[in-house]
Amino acid sequence: MNTGQPEQRGTPVGRRVLLGTLGLGALGVITAPTLQRGLESLLSGAAGKDPTGLTGLLPNGGGFRYYSVASSVPRKNADTYRLTVDGLVDRPATYTLAELRALPQTRLVRDVQCVTGWRVPETPFDGVRLSRILDAAGVRSGAGAVRFTCFDGTYTESLTLDQARRPDVLVALRMQDQDLGHSHGGPARLYVAPMYFYKSAKWLSGITVTEDVQPGYWERRGYDIDAWVGRSNGRDDEPTA
Ligand SMILES: Nc1nc2c(c(=O)[nH]1)N[C@H]1C(S)=C(S)[C@@H](COP(=O)(O)O)O[C@H]1N2
Ligand SMILES: [Mo]
């Protein structure tokens, strides 16, 4: 029901604050991407002011804002989590969390930048390089892109195969030296260091190798598909990687 709304929609406290402050109760009727973009910057400006100070009380704090386009997301743990790899590959696979943890881990420490403006400096992520998982699956010739799906049942993302094979793209299992908590997309999320944070799909459950890029959730709503920080979405932020 909420598919036409800007990404702040998912902030449990912030949304109420915003709707109250700005009187934007009719947000749900707005669907044009350009209009959304304008609203989003308006909303993010208001969120930045945080008139109530409640943002600091959100469970994940630390400069991050909690985003989910789904109103509720099931919890997955080491027993129930699975990551499937399929599509144009020779060896489709399903990984448990233990299997992902047993693979070589790569650590990246970069700034995180959301397209709405907030930035978290020098954030450590640890996880498995996506390129390793793709190599293990054996990408077939003719493949050109990767599609990511999430166990929230709604969010999707995409990368070209070249982007997906970059060494700074991870299936992240840890953030800030802790196992990824549920609110940050745990047990496993994508982490695309050089791109705006909307590329870093939370609650990652599927990696499908495809012929062409299939635009993700926000990309179908007006965000740039190539989401390089500082070189997309009309923004000029310092690059993160
Ligand atoms: N599954 C899922 N992944 C997602 C999103 C989402 O709504 N659902 N939001 C994206 C956006 S716009 C941002 S800024 C980050 C927010 O991550 P955080 O909640 O850990 O701060 O997650 C990205 N990945
Ligand atoms: Mo974002």
Residue nearest to atom 7 of ligand 1 (CA): 68
Could you tell me the distance, in angstroms and rounded to a whole number, from the CA of residue 167 to the centre of ligand 1? 21
Q: What is the pLDDT of residue 43?
A: 39
Q: What is the pLDDT of residue 63?
A: 86
CB environment 106-134: b (16+ within 10 A), e (fewer): bebebbbbbbbeeebeebebbbbbbbbbb
Residue nearest to atom 8 of ligand 1 (CA): 68
Query: Tens digit of pLDDT per residue, the chain (241 long)?
Result: 344 446 654 444 433 333 333 333 333 333 334 434 443 343 343 333 344 445 545 554 568 999 999 999 999 999 999 999 999 999 999 999 999 999 999 999 999 999 999 999 999 999 999 999 999 999 999 999 999 999 999 999 999 999 999 999 999 999 999 999 999 999 999 999 999 999 999 999 999 999 999 999 999 999 999 999 999 999 999 999 8
- Which domains does the chain carry? 7-57 (no CATH), 83-221 (3.90.420.10)
Q: What is the pLDDT of residue 153?
A: 98
Which ligand is closest in space to the CA of residue 58?
1
What is the SS3 assignment for 5? Answer: coil
How far is the C-alpha of 96 from the C-alpha of 33, rounded, in Å?
A: 37
CA distances from 110 to 87, 122, 191, 204, 227 (A): 31, 5, 11, 21, 16
Pocket lining: 217 vs ligand 1, CB cutoff 6 Å: no
What atom in ligand 1 is closest to the CA of residue 203?
A: 1
Query: Beta partners for 139?
Result: 89
What atom in ligand 1 is closest to the CA of residue 118?
A: 14
| Residue 110 parent element (H or E) | strand 106-113
Q: For residue 10, give the DSSP letter.
A: G
Pocket lining: 196 vs ligand 1, CB cutoff 6 Å: no
State the residue for tokens 């945080």: 50
Closest CA to 192 of 205, 178, 202: 202
Pocket lining: 186 vs ligand 1, CB cutoff 6 Å: no
